[in-house]
Structure formats: C-alpha cells, structure tokens
Structure 1
Amino acid sequence: MAHSPFRPFEDRFSRESALKVLKQACDGADDGELFLERRTAEALVFDDGKLKTASYDASEGFGLRAVLGEVAGYAHSTEVSEASLKRACATARLAIGEGGGTMADAPNNTNAKLYRDIDPISEVSFSAKIDTLREIDAYLRDLDSRVVQVSASIAVSLQEITVLRPDGAEVSDTRPMTRINISVIAEEHGRRESGSAGGGGRISLDGLLDPEHWKDKAREALRIAVVNLSAVPAPAGMMDVVLGPGWPGILLHEAVGHGLEGDFNRKGSSAFSGRVGERVASKGVTVLDDGTIPNRRGSITIDDEGTPSAKNILIEDGILRGYMQDRQNARLMGVAPTGNGRRESYAHPPMPRMTNTYMMGGDSAPADIVADLKDGIYAVGFGGGQVDITNGKFVFSCTEAYRVENGKVGAPVKGATLIGDGATAMQQIRALGNDMALDPGMGNCGKAGQWVPVGVGQPTVMIGGLTVGGAGG
C-alpha cells in the first residue's frame, strides 16, 4: 500500500534555511550532514493463547553532525524546526571550534532500488494479523499433544530517511521491515524444552502471513523443541566442530565481523589491526559484507551517511583485503568509504557496522564434511553469542547440536557452548560445504548501545580444535 512520503523540507522548514544552518555548523569541518528520519513500528505478541502485547510507535527527528579529524560534534532533537536546528548547530560547533578542515566530497549517487517503497504496517489489517497469530497457536497445539506453550509475534516497521550535506547534496531512502517469530515449549515425561523459528526482511507482510510460510516456520520451531526433549548433556573439552549453513554464520559475524570494522582497526584495538594483505584464515575462505542483496534484512540502498551500500570483500582466499568503513574512519585511514556508516536512529551518530556478512561456499558435500568428523559436535542452531574485540575471543550457546563419533551423527546434546577466538578459528577451517545459505532474516546487532538489523550466512564449515563447554565429561 502506498503511503504519504516523508517531506521534511516541505512540512517542517525550507530546504534553503536548513542548508544555511548546516553550512554554518560545518564551516571549517572535514565532513558533516543533517540526518532526518521518520519511523513507524508495530509489534504484536500472542502468548499462551492470548494477545499479550500490541504496540504502535511513531517518531521523527533529526541529527546534525560536524566532523573534524577524530572529533565529531553531534546534536539531535525530536523537534524538527528551524529553531531546534539552530540550537543543534551551536552545540555541534563546540566540538570543532575554529575548524581548519577541508570538506570532503559528497558520496556518489546510486540508482539502485533494493526493496519496494511500501508501508508494511498498513498493507494488512490489524484484525488479520491477530487472526494469523491465533491460527499459529491453534495449529501448533493441534499438531502435537506435547506442545504446552506457544508464543508468536509479528514486527513491522517503516523507516524513512533523508541525508542533506553542506554542499547541497541530498539523498533519501524508504526502508520497510517485516518479521514473524514463533517459539514453542514442548513437554514430555516432566521435561520441557523449547524451539523457535522465524524470519523476514525488507518485504511485504503478505508473504510472511501466508499459511504455507508460517506453517513451515511453526513446524521447524516444534521440530527443534522435540529434538531437544531427547538431548543428552553436551560433552566438554577440545574437539572439532561442524557448523551448519545459514544462521550459524552468526559466529562469523561476532568472532570476525566486528573485528573487521574500521573504527576498531584505526584505533589498533582489533585483533586484525594492521594486517591487511596478511593471511588471517585458511586457504579457500572468502568473507564478504554485502549490503546490496535485494530485500534482505541487513541490506541498505544507502548507508546513514548517504554512501551507496556495496559488496565488500573482507577476506579473499584467506588473505585480509580490507575493513568496513564509514566516512570518518575511511578518511583517517586513507581509504574509501565502503557504505557501512550506520546508525540506529536520528538520535545516534553513525559508525562502521556490518550489513549482510557471510562466508562463501566451497566444493565439499555437507554429508562428507560430517562423515569426516571423528569426534566432535555438529552444531546447526545458535542462540546468543559475545566477543571481545581486542582478542577475538568468543562464546556461543547452541540451540540445536548433535554428538558425532566416527562420522556418525548421534544423540542431540543440550547445554553446548563453543569457545574460541576468531583469528585462530579462521585459521583452523578444514572444509567448506557447497551449500552456502543466508539466514532467514532475524538478526540484530548491538554495538556501543546502538542496534541495527543485519544478515549472516555461511556454508557447512568444519573448524578444528574449538573448546566445547558442556555438562558432560
């Protein structure tokens, strides 16, 4: 459904007056912009047979930034007016003082259109959304008598941005987002286990609410819960691990991706700092960050500084080729911006962030990779993870994993955590499957208190010598 476009320069103040204030704010600066945003979001949660949450949020505001060297002055407001712009100008100028910089050139424009200009909130009626959530609940309870609890949610949003630069360059983007998520708790012999599935992207809500789609997700959530009902305690110790395709790429995102963001490398705080041109992974390992994949959750036509997104090769055949950059860190490091300057909202300054980060596939059959695993874990589902950027150490919890002995997949295991460091793990990749897949569209990434949607992906991968933490011996 079409919607009324965001026109801040017609509805709030004139473009000329905004540009005049922005030029004053950035006089003597190296860079800067006025970032205007309008966002609407709706979230529905149907839990345990009842509608538990129904929220609608609408916000708008601006952020004004002036950058000089390593310093940036940033001011933001929910009041989009000429008076508040002038107050923001005075605040931003405090950081850059007398200036002395040379304004950087504006980003090139792009004609790309990676997703449709739609409002996913209004395209499906509120009652139809509630009815679908109720149907999901009933479907799962009818499917298996072991189901004791179902939680289903729909989240839809529309973000509209305009970026104005001191030289008058102006770009806009309209970013829809949809997601459905289903969680199930199953009980058998007094034991309860959970499973979840979902996904979405910068797509219409109609497709996600199609019964064939949500039934597939519902069955997958139930399958995981039932698998975990028979799980035995995970073994503990150093062992080889095979990771499944798709969502397990979250390990790559955390263990390697954050360490390849420009700000950490400029400051020398990443385990990958100063290593461009060096071998950082096994031969055959190629890692990309690609914001240009149509309709994907992590994709952006332009980043939040106005730079077109790009398909950036980070690691090629095991060799580190470059980092993800916003404009400020790229300039300070003497390289080109890569379209990775992202921010959560107008209330946040941009910083280097991932979009869709994935490892390219190899030529091994996934079944052969598992058959080559003599003693280890086959992990196909992950929950949360965390990483220490300075040394790349990571810890991940598995939501679905299996014991493998002599190439045979055995019992599911519960409570497995994978522990290692990204730099070492990348050097110990022993096999790459021919089944590279992207995740179903459910990733969020946090950094410095800011959250942005992201995508991950990988093929089936064997990594040698990870530490598995578990309850078993």
Structure 2
Amino acid sequence: MNIDDPRIFLYRPGLLDPDSAQQLAKMSLASCDDGEIYLQYSAVESFGFDDGRLKTADYSVDSGFGLRGVSGEMTGFSHASEISEAAIKRAAQTLQLLDPATQNPAAPPQRTNRHLYTDGNPLEQLAFAKKVALCEKIDAAARARDPRVKQASIGLSASWSVIEIVRADGFVATDIRPLVRLNVSIVLEENGRRESGSFGLGGRYLYDKLFDESEWMRAIEEAFKQAEANLRSVPAPAGDMTVLLGPGWPGVLLHEAVGHGLEGDFNRKGTSAFSGKIGQRVASPGVTIIDNGAIADRRGSLSIDDEGTATQENILIEDGILRGYMQDRMNARLMGVEPTGNGRRESYAHAPMPRMTNTYMQGGEDDPEELLSRVKDGIYAKSFGGGQVDIVSGKFVFSCTEAYKVKNGKLGDPIKGATLIGDGPVAMQKVIGIGNDMALDEGIGICGKGGQSVPAGVGQPSVLISGLTVGGTGG
C-alpha cells in the first residue's frame, strides 16, 4: 500500500497486512456458516459554541476490529482496539464455542464499485481556526437576527471512517465514509417568557455545504421561526383528533412507528406487529414505504452495508400491501430470502443487525393545502423531538417541537406540550390523504436499537391521518 491508500490506517507493518487478514479470516471462520473480520479506523471532531464563545472542541481517533462467526442461529463475536494478528487469533478462540456449521456456508455478497459519497476527509479539509470562525459568524448572525434573541448555540461536527470487511471465502470490501453536521439553536425572550427553536443539516459530504452562507443562514432562520412560534404557543389540546403531519422530518414518526417493525430480526422471531403478514394489507391504499440506502450523499446512505452487501431501494409496503422486510445476512438466510443491504453496526465493537438506512413514504397526488382544508378540528405537526415505540404492539409516543391547532381548515395558534400517541399499524390504516410534496429530512437523524446508534434518514410528504390521540394540557 502507498501513503495515499486510506487502508494504511488499518494495516501497519509488523502488526497486520492484507494477506494475513485474509488468512486469519479463512482460519478463524472455517467452521462457520458466515462471518467476517471487520476492520475500522475512525476520526471524529466536534465544536460547541455557546454564550458567545467556544465552549468545547473535541477530537478523537479510534481503531479496532470485530470478528464475527455465525453457525445456524448462533453468533460468536469478539472485538479489540488493537488491530494485529495476535489480537485476531485471540479473538478467534471465542468462535470455538459455536455449534458446528451446517456445512452450507453462505455465499459472499456481490461485489460493487459504486461510490455514493466522496472519499475525502472533512476533518483535514479546513484549518481549526476556520471552523471556529464559522461558529463565531453563525453565532453573531443569529444574535443580530432579532433583539429578542437571548442565546444562540452552535454545534459543528464531522467524522471520517475507513472500514474493510474480510471474509473467509476471499471476499474483501472497503468503504470510506465521511459525515458532517451543523446544528443551530436559538432562545427568544419576550415579556418574560423564553422559548427555543432549533434546526440542523448534514450528510455524507465535506464541510463545503455547511460553510455556504445561504445554508447556515437558512438554519438560523428556521431555528428562529420555530422559537418565535413557540413564543406564541398555547397549551396543546387533548383527545382523539385528525392530525396532519408535515413533509420531511416528521417522517421520524414513520421511522419509529412502522420502520423498526419491518426489520428482519423482529419478524424472524415473530415479535413484530407485522410478523407473518407478507402480501397482506397493512396500510391504507396509496401508502408506499421504502428504505433506500443508495441515495447519494445522504446521512443514512452506505455504498455497502457493514457486512459488504451493496445497499439498494427496498419497497417494504407497496400501495398498502406488505412486500418485504429489511434484512441483514443472518436473518435473510434463516428466513430464506436475500439480504437487502441493511446489516449495520455502530462500530467495530458491535455485531451487525438489521437496521434502517433512509426510510420514507412515497409522495401522493394530494395538494397539501387541500389536505389542510379537510381538517375541521385537529392539529398540524411540523416538527418532532424524541419518541419511542414498542415493537411487539407497534404503540408509539412522540413529542412535537412545533405544532399548530387547525380549525375549519385554517392554521391557528401554535401549541406547546403536544404528544402524539398511537399504534403504528393502526395509524397506517387511518391515512386518508398523501401530499405531493415528499421531502427527505435535512440530515440529522440518529437511530437507536439494541444499544447501538447509527446515522439514519427519514422522509415523507404531508400525510393526513383521520385519528390519533393527542396528549396535552389544554382544552
């Protein structure tokens, strides 16, 4: 390898070389149905600007390997932060505890040369001082936006990861993954009342887009408008009512309420509300839900997943009919289907599992304004904060960070403290309108499952749901 090969962060003289890694994979996984050595190097930086000055500036690097062997339904996994022949040989001892293989080893993933994002390293793109200067500039512009601005917080972060997957059958795949993110939060004060708003954007690209003045000014403006709406907010109403979800980021509700229930492991074990329902109607006509990890530069995208499978567009629900699940290699093999490119892991220290990439509802034909006109007494939810779901039942709870009353088809007062409570499969059956304004989120999503967090994307058009329970304190 030459000095320009990013794999120099994985292979070091005297510790491990590519040929030795392949021999170790062949030796360690000889008695397994499937598995791999997963090598990773990552560098991460973050800046926190608060109270008009730089509060935090962090930089860290990490590297290591994960060795996984799969026999039948059993998985053996070991990892270490030392990438060396000796460490991998020690880790291989874990695999001796597995049952003998079925003598039907899984075929390797199909190779691909596709690259969905740059190999460039955003951390090395600009000097430290320029990144701090951008935070200062955003902070100053946010504070100058309005005399009511009492606080502005800026978060800027980037990571760069080199991964290599080495299998016993000779398959080797490498991926180089950049990721950047900008967050702006603003606090407004008026008549003794303080409220906040926030906005973020990011993706698998370099810092260039975030340093574009039109982009960070847009972030300021969106955060300001949300804070201003919250300043005028009244207590949220409570009860069962019609809900109009806005386009883009509100797809996070779809991600939690439906997406997790369509992951292969839950369905193989029969613990999802969608288990055993392939070919059945699980949503209203017109509802098509897709997971697509192959969209260029998106936060949730991967050229290959963390098992080496090329990502793809997976139609999960088509016109309301359940068509398939998101699969990693193990669950796909045990269910007798093909992997879908959804085997993901947080890092080398974690085993892969079926995870979402960019999950969204396809757009429909309805005019968003016409959908609003159909709401006689309900709410319009434009942005969400945290939420949670029970996979078995599909029940979810979500908090709104920006929402409005709707009366006779007209937007009314902003509301504060609204939560949406429902059942994912039932909610999908209550979709009565799908807008023609489908949008993906701005690139800030983080998905948690099984103690692991990975970047993910969401999206949807405006969606009209005939009935959800709204939790609030108002009348």
CA gap 1:167/1:4 in 2 versus in 1, 3 angstroms: closer
Name the counterpart of 2:452.
Answer: 450
CA contact (8 A) 2:72 2:102 kept: no
Per-residue Cα deviation, 1:433-464 (whole angstroms, up to 9, x for no partner): 00000000000000011000000000000011
Q: How does 1:170-249 map to 2 (within 5 A)?
A: 170-249=172-251
Name the counterpart of 1:19.
Answer: 22
CA gap 1:273/1:365 in 2 versus in 1, 3 angstroms: same
Q: Pick from 146, 155, 177 the counterpart of residue 157 of structure 2.
A: 155
Q: Which segments of 5 or more consecutive residues in structure 2 lack a partner in the other structure?
A: none
Q: Pick from 379, 382, 390 the counterpart of residue 381 of structure 2.
A: 379
Whether 2:88 is the aligned partner of 1:85: answer yes
Q: Pick from 238, 259, 278 the counterpart of residue 257 of structure 1.
A: 259
Tell me the distance in 2 between the aligned counterparts of 1:315 and 1:387. Answer: 19
Whether 2:398 is the aligned partner of 1:396: answer yes
Task: Look up the equivalent residue of 1:160 and give its one-letter code.
Answer: V
Deviation for aligned residue 1:419: 0.3
Q: How does 1:337-356 map to 2 (within 5 A)?
A: 337-356=339-358
Deviation for aligned residue 1:3: 6.3
CA contact (8 A) 2:404 2:413 kept: yes
CA gap 1:6/1:16 in 2 versus in 1, 3 angstroms: closer
Name the counterpart of 1:127.
Answer: 129
Q: How does 1:53-72 map to 2 (within 5 A)?
A: 53-72=56-75
Tell me the distance in 2 between the aligned counterparts of 1:104 and 1:132. Answer: 49
Tell me the distance in 2 between the aligned counterparts of 1:413 and 1:131. Answer: 36
Deviation for aligned residue 1:16: 3.0
Name the counterpart of 2:412.
Answer: 410
Q: Pick from 332, 355, 359 the counterpart of residue 361 of structure 2.
A: 359
Tell me the distance in 2 between the aligned counterparts of 1:101 and 1:157. Answer: 40
Name the counterpart of 1:5.
Answer: 6
Q: Secondary structure at the match of 2:123?
A: coil
Task: Look up the equivalent residue of 1:48 and give its one-letter code.
Answer: D
Name the counterpart of 1:314.
Answer: 316
Name the counterpart of 2:38.
Answer: 35
Query: Aligned residue pairs: how many?
Result: 471
Task: Look up the equivalent residue of 2:22 and give its one-letter code.
Answer: L
Whether 2:76 is the aligned partner of 1:73: answer yes
| TM-score (normalised: structure 2) | 0.98
Per-residue Cα deviation, 1:30-56 (whole angstroms, up to 9, x for no partner): 101000000000000001112111000
Q: Which segments of 5 or more consecutive residues in structure 1 lack a partner in the other structure?
A: none
Task: Look up the equivalent residue of 2:235 and give its one-letter code.
Answer: P
Tell me the distance in 1 between the aligned counterparts of 2:310 and 2:223. Answer: 37
CA contact (8 A) 1:356 1:454 kept: yes
Deviation for aligned residue 1:292: 0.4
Q: Secondary structure at the match of 2:131?
A: helix
Tell me the distance in 2 between the aligned counterparts of 1:93 and 1:214. Answer: 53
Q: Secondary structure at the match of 1:6?
A: helix
Identical-residue share of aligned pairs (%): 58
Tell me the distance in 1 between the aligned counterparts of 2:81 and 2:104. Answer: 30
Tell me the distance in 2 between the aligned counterparts of 1:215 and 1:127. Answer: 20
Task: Look up the equivalent residue of 2:188 and give its one-letter code.
Answer: A
Tell me the distance in 2 between the aligned counterparts of 1:172 and 1:410. Answer: 52
Q: Secondary structure at the match of 1:339?
A: coil
CA contact (8 A) 1:120 1:204 kept: yes
Task: Look up the equivalent residue of 2:27 and give its one-letter code.
Answer: Q
For structure 1, which segment, 18-27 or 34-43, has the greater mean C-alpha deviation from structure 2 after superposition?
A: 18-27
Q: Pick from 109, 117, 137 the counterpart of residue 139 of structure 2.
A: 137
Deviation for aligned residue 1:9: 4.2
Task: Look up the equivalent residue of 2:248 and give its one-letter code.
Answer: G
CA gap 1:69/1:98 in 2 versus in 1, 3 angstroms: closer
Deviation for aligned residue 1:21: 2.3
For structure 1, which segment, 9-18 or 376-385, has the greater mean C-alpha deviation from structure 2 after superposition?
A: 9-18
Deviation for aligned residue 1:386: 0.5
Task: Look up the equivalent residue of 1:185 and give its one-letter code.
Answer: V
Name the counterpart of 2:278.
Answer: 276
Name the counterpart of 1:302.
Answer: 304
Q: Pick from 39, 42, 48 the counterpart of residue 45 of structure 1.
A: 48
Per-residue Cα deviation, 1:210-268 (whole angstroms, up to 9, x for no partner): 22210111111011001110001010000010000000000000000000000000001
Deviation for aligned residue 1:10: 5.5
Tell me the distance in 2 between the aligned counterparts of 1:202 and 1:68. Answer: 35
Tell me the distance in 2 between the aligned counterparts of 1:98 and 1:415. Answer: 55
Q: Secondary structure at the match of 2:359?
A: strand
Tell me the distance in 2 between the aligned counterparts of 1:382 and 1:85. Answer: 44
Deviation for aligned residue 1:359: 0.2
Deviation for aligned residue 1:85: 0.7
Deviation for aligned residue 1:24: 2.5
CA contact (8 A) 1:234 1:413 kept: yes
Tell me the distance in 2 between the aligned counterparts of 1:234 and 1:254. Answer: 23
For structure 1, which segment, 5-14 or 18-27, has the greater mean C-alpha deviation from structure 2 after superposition?
A: 5-14
Tell me the distance in 2 between the aligned counterparts of 1:157 and 1:48. Answer: 25
Tell me the distance in 2 between the aligned counterparts of 1:402 and 1:467. Answer: 15
Deviation for aligned residue 1:177: 0.3
Task: Look up the equivalent residue of 2:82 and give its one-letter code.
Answer: E
RMSD of aligned alpha carbons: 1.1
